[in-house]
Amino acid sequence: MKILVVNGPNLKLLGTRCPELYGSETLKSLEESMTRRAGALGVEISFFQSDCEGAIVERIGRCISEGIDGIIINPAAYTHTSIAIHDALEAVRIPAVEVHISNIHKREEFRRRTMTASACLGSICGLGFFGYELALDALFNHIKKVEK
């Protein structure tokens, strides 16, 4: 099983950007913990981060040819604006889970609407980095169930 983790704009700044919202851990530490969790499940995991909407859309589009079975995506600010990322997720028809480190529903009004969640199996927010692990477990269980 192959899972791709996609992180959107400014997430490369984790650890220094708004630690009161996002914590003090870095993107690298997130990737290391996700790699360990994926290994325990016997899952191959890869990571992609971009500040560019088009690059994210292109990366999602390549998932089919790469045999990606599931996508964990934190579109970050594009969550609230990107019909293109929504459409890319719908187009590839690969199960996806949207993740947000902070609770978007406790933040500014404009952050409470997600353009991308409706193209996903579900959405997890407000649980910090643990939300990514929950998303991995959810995808793993969903894909195993579908394979039966």
For each of the domains in the chain, give its residue range(s) and CATH number, in order of start.
2-147 (3.40.50.9100)
51-89 tens-digit pLDDT: 999 999 999 999 999 999 999 999 999 998 899 999 999
Cβ contacts of 15 within 8 Å, gap of 6 or more: 23, 24, 25, 26, 27, 29
Amino acid in the structure at residue 3: I
Q: How far apart are CA 8 and CA 145, in angstroms?
A: 29
Average pLDDT over residues 118-140: 96
User: In terms of pLDDT, which residue wins out, 27 or 71?
Assistant: 71
State the pLDDT confidence band at 14, using cuts at 50, 70 and 90: confident
State the pLDDT confidence band at 44, using cuts at 50, 70 and 90: very high
96, β-bridge pairs: 71
Secondary structure (DSSP) of 82-148: -HHHHHHHHHHT--EEEEESS-GGGS-GGGG--SSGGGSSEEEESSTTHHHHHHHHHHHHHHHHHH-
Q: Would you name the residues annotated as active-site residues? A: 22, 100
Structure tokens at 29: 């530490």
Average pLDDT over residues 9-21: 76
- State percent of the chain over pLDDT 90: 74
Does residue 18 surpass a pLDDT of 70? no
Structure tokens at 50: 């971009």
Does residue 107 surpass a pLDDT of 80? no
44, β-bridge pairs: 2
State the pLDDT confidence band at 23, using cuts at 50, 70 and 90: low
The mean of the pLDDT values for the chain is: 91
Backbone Cα Rg of the chain: 14
The pLDDT assigned to 112 comes to: 62
Contact in structure between 140 and 41 (CB atoms under 8 Å): yes
Residue found by looking up tokens 């969903």 in the block: 142
Amino acid in the structure at residue 97: V
